[in-house]
Amino acid sequence: MGRDGKDVVSTYIERDFKMAGNTRGKIKEHLEGVHRNCDWSKHHLQTVLNLCEDKNPKISDQIELLAKSIDEVDKFNQLIYANI
């Protein structure tokens, strides 16, 4: 927390990234789209995993790694969303 009681990251965002409210809203809208796409990607990867899990363990491992990387992208996306 900063001296004024505000979150330091929020203060940085407000100070250095001032933008019109409608621009901020549009950015948030697109970041929400990224989040939804991550959810759908994970859903589809789970379906693929169910189809090939016992047939090809090497591909299953790669699918699991891809799903984990999508989770990381989604976490970063949510962090950006929270700080705009």
pLDDT tens sequence across 57-77: 899 999 999 999 999 999 999
Domain boundaries, the chain: 8-12+20-82
Give residue 38's pLDDT band: very low, low, confident or very high (50, 70, 90).
very high
> Is 47 exposed, middle or buried (CB count within 10 Å of its CB: 0-12, 13-18, 19+)?
exposed
Global pTM reads 0.69
- pLDDT-derived band of residue 5, with 50, 70 and 90 as boundaries? low
Tell me the DSSP string of 1-65. Answer: --TTSS-HHHHHHHHH----HHHHHHHHHHHHHHHHHHHHHHHHHHHHHHHHTTT-HHHHHHHHH
